[in-house]
Amino acid sequence: MASTAVTDPLEELWKHTMSPDRTDLLCFYPSKITMSGIWTGDSPLDFSLPLLLFQIILITTTTRAVALLLTPLRLPRYIAEILAGFLLGPSVLGRLPHFSDIAFPIRSLFILESMSLLGLIYYTFTIGVEIELHTVLRAGQRSFWFAAASALPPFLVGAVTGYVAVSTDETRRTADQFLNTLSFPVFLGATFCATAFSVLARNIAQLKLAGTDVGQLSISASLINDTFAWGGLTVATALAHVRYGMVPCMWTIVSGFLIVGASYLIVRPMLLRLAGRVSEGEVVTELQECSVLIGVMVAALVADAGGTHAIFGAFVFGLAVPNGPVGVAIVEKVEDFVVGTLLPLFFAMSGLRTDTAKITSMSAAVLLMVAALAAAILKVVAAVSVAGAFGMPLHDGVSIGLLLNTKGVIELVILNIGKNKKIMSDQSFTVLVFMSALITALVTPLLAMVVKPARRLVFYKRRTIAWPQPESEFRVLACVHMPRDVPALLTLLDVTSPSDHSPVAVQALHLIEFAGRSSALLLINASAPSSSFEHSTHGSSQVELQFKHISHAFMAYEENVLGVTARTLAAVSPYVTMHDDVTAAAEDRHSALILLPFHKHRSVDGGLEVFHPAIQPLNQNIQRFSPCTVGILVDRGLGGMPGAGCRVAALFFGGRDDREAVALATRMVYNPAIDLTVLRFVQKGGSFMGTEFDALKERKGDDACLREFLDRANSMSVGGGGGAGVEYRERGVFNASEMVAQIQEVEALGKDLFVVGKVPGLPALTAGMAEWSECPELGPIGDLLASRDFQTMASVLVVQSYARPSAGAISGELGYGGDGVPAAGRPPRPDHIRRNSIGMGNWS
């Protein structure tokens, strides 16, 4: 019984449409685009539009299913897309009888490949938008050496392998054919040296390497490597035209330079002027966005007509677009649809071209496999050598070498162009696609083992505000989401950090959300000093501009305040894991205090509105895993006033967190322009929820803390250097209603800032407040002061003291961490502390 022959659809397509000696024709029916309906007997797969929709649905669904199955292996999406195309190709499902004829008939491949190339054009455009050439040029000497060392050896391996393969091919012995196939070594070399920085950026963010030398050098070197690969792709494409003579080959190269020149001399100045107007408040209009998107198609058309390739024109046009508000607005318009729908079509077309049956020469296939593995190993060896030359650890060199072996779309683009232009055979294409997927799959677990830094045990003593030696250096990690967070933080630092008594080291950490895009500029600038930025802002991204503003503000603070040192860094990470970056930065800097902005900002009507919902769980995770004391600042205009003359009230109920709040108030005593009130609450007739020993221990700690505050205030008052007004009060209260009345009385004096502990030491007063708490990270008192119902315009700083992890501390994260009352056993909410009863009442 004869077996059914398995054919490659693209091979049949080329046989019918591209072969110069073809003798047959394919007939198409222009009227068979849309169908009349299945009720008239029409089959959807016989018409162009229903068939195209079916193919897009099939490809997208298969890609998502494979990605879902590979999720436990934590492999890049690139692997899932290649495997999905391979499954739909002739090697797997294509072997089923009539599958290719039904799902991917020859007549549909024109439209499907055109759609895939359109998606590829806009994808390469978005890659170009995210690259700034000035970023590559300022990468530094080490980045260039890593790029050169990781690009040249693999390129030479590919070029030599390609030359050996061509020279031993008996079918290419004629001079014309031999000269024409010289482009294959260049194609192979460009394939081996390419690094997919879009995939690399995602890996760096996931591995928490954005603020390290390894991350910065890897992403910088990958940008340089990609630029080199695109140049090699252009040269190889030009060499493919040697069959038509040297004149077309030279004109192809000249047209490539003309496209680059036109993009930078004509397009970029126009877009820079638009970016300048946008930075002044103008909005990017729909007409302007549409003009840029049409410009992408014009550049692709000109490049394809010039003999290079359409994606080259789109990439160069993307390079001309400044990575700022204009670029962000345009990329957001197209990226989701292109990456989610059109780009999988490109991988499917690559899978249709991949056929294991075309591997007929095992010796040639093994040669390519060995060459690909040798190129990958040489990248690691070269990176280790460069790291050794610069005195870097061996671990860093291995990490950079592995990261630079990350593969992605650009390598597949090079392979497809080579196959379309008949520079490489079906066998070479199939082997190289498999090796690309294999190397990426091997690199991923090695990255997890080698690159991912182990959690270090950092030992340092001062992890709290309270410290026996008040003159020692006070280290603060100030976290910033956007520039509007800076004024309030600087005012708070100015109030609490008198430099003439204690030196202060401030590290500002710009928290940048990594949402999956390959924002290379963010990763490069994550550990770049602020002075290295260029003064021009038109070509900068919005986040880079924010980083500049933040760093300049802290630099100015350092210059104007004696005894203060400030440094600005960035953490690029998803919000889900960003607490790891914050806690690691605090440990590295031996911080005693982490300052966090609240997840709500002041609105126009004076209330608080949510800035980003993911910031609240981020703050809670930082509180849970923090290596030091944490303060959350609820800003109601604190940044709009000078530090001098600030009126502060510290509320003391007792307990570890309140002692930290008073320790912070003790530092304010040194500030001669601060009006400070410390109000201690004592519960009348109350009992401590715990053992008698614990009660005595807590009372002794509270008394010692307040005694130190009073001694410091009295000594400063006698010496004439104390604050403008330091006042200490004690109030006895029976219940929460009286407590709120006393707080209202203090607020009526016109306070600008309340400082409270997260977990108050009088749980009997606040036990019922947990039932209606909106923000558990603020604790019961902080949540009360931050609520709209309390009707105050004062800002609130909630302090959580550092403590060694324990079962009680962990359970406390679920509530208020120290009241000792489980959620199921809490008393019912008392009527006297209902939200609607807290207002401008007549408190006595």
pLDDT along the chain (844 residues), means of 10: 49 54 55 77 84 91 91 82 88 86 86 90 85 65 88 90 73 50 78 81 75 79 79 74 74 86 90 79 81 93 88 89 77 82 86 84 88 93 93 89 86 83 82 88 81 61 86 91 92 78 88 62 43 43 77 91 87 86 90 94 80 92 94 86 75 91 89 85 68 75 88 71 73 86 88 91 73 84 87 91 59 36 35 31 28
The region, left, alpha or beta by phi > 0 then psi within -120 to 50, assigned to residue 576 is alpha
Beta bridge partners of 799: 631, 757
171, 173, 175, 180 alpha-carbon torsion, rounded to 10°: 40
Token pair for 110: 């024109």
Residue range(s) in the chain whose domain bears CATH number 1.20.1530.20 = 51-450
Q: What pLDDT sits at residue 38?
A: 81
DSSP state of 813: T
| Cα of 57 vs its chain's centroid, Å | 30
Is 660 within 8 Å of 799 (Cβ atoms)?
yes
Give residue 327's identity as a one-letter amino acid code: G
| Angstrom distance (rounded) from CA 529 to CA 509 | 12
Is 437 within 8 Å of 79 (Cβ atoms)?
yes
Phi, psi at residue 630, to the nearest 5°?
-125, 135
| Angstrom distance (rounded) from CA 379 to CA 615 | 39
Residue range(s) in the chain whose domain bears CATH number 3.40.50.12370 = 474-527+541-800
Is 262 within 8 Å of 269 (Cβ atoms)?
no
Return all residues near 60 (Cβ < 8 A) that are at least 6 apart.
340, 341, 344
Burial 35-49, CB ≥16 within 10 A → b, else e: beeeeeeeeeeebbe
| Angstrom distance (rounded) from CA 578 to CA 150 | 31
> Between helices 197-206 and 394-403, what is the axis angle to 10°?
130
Give the CA radius of gyration of the chain. 33
In three-state secondary structure terms, 729 is strand
Burial 358-386, CB ≥16 within 10 A → b, else e: beeeeebbebbeebbebbbebbbebbbeb
Is 404 within 8 Å of 221 (Cβ atoms)?
yes
Report the relative pairing of strands 675-683 and 647-652 from DSSP bridges: parallel
Is 436 within 8 Å of 447 (Cβ atoms)?
no
Is 200 within 8 Å of 130 (Cβ atoms)?
no
Phi, psi at residue 420, to the nearest 5°?
-65, -35
Phi, psi at residue 65, to the nearest 5°?
-65, -45
Token pair for 760: 């108050």
DSSP state of 450: I
Beta bridge partners of 573: 513
Between the alpha carbon of residue 355 and those of residues 14, 206, 365, 791, the distances in Å are: 15, 34, 13, 71
Measuring CA to CA, which residue among 794, 507, 747 is closest to residue 640? 794
Number of neighbours of residue 565 by Cβ within 10 angstroms: 15
Residue position matching structure tokens 């990176």: 383
Number of neighbours of residue 610 by Cβ within 10 angstroms: 12
Is 709 within 8 Å of 665 (Cβ atoms)?
yes
Q: What pLDDT sits at residue 256?
A: 85
Looking at domain 51-450, its CATH architecture is Up-down Bundle (1.20)
Token pair for 513: 């959300």
| Angstrom distance (rounded) from CA 442 to CA 448 | 11
pTM equals 0.72
Give the chain's length: 844
Outline where 70-182 has alpha helix (H).
77-88, 99-103, 106-129, 133-137, 141-167, 175-180
Give residue 553's identity as a one-letter amino acid code: A
Token pair for 479: 């976290």
Token pair for 410: 């650009």
Q: What pLDDT sits at residue 453?
A: 52
Token pair for 416: 């497809």
Number of neighbours of residue 668 by Cβ within 10 angstroms: 24
In angstroms, the first-to-last Cα distance of the chain is 103
Give DSSP secondary structure letters for 375-430: HHHHHHHHHHHHHHHTT--HHHHHHHHHHTT---HHHHHHHHHHHHTTSS-HHHHH
Task: Give the up-direction half-sphere exposure of residue 346: CA atoms within 13 A in the CB hemisphere.
Answer: 27
Is 155 within 8 Å of 376 (Cβ atoms)?
no
Q: What angle do CA 240, 241, 244 make, to 5 degrees?
A: 140
| Angstrom distance (rounded) from CA 726 to CA 712 | 11
Give residue 670's identity as a one-letter amino acid code: Y
Q: If one looks up domain 474-527+541-800 in CATH, what number appears?
A: 3.40.50.12370
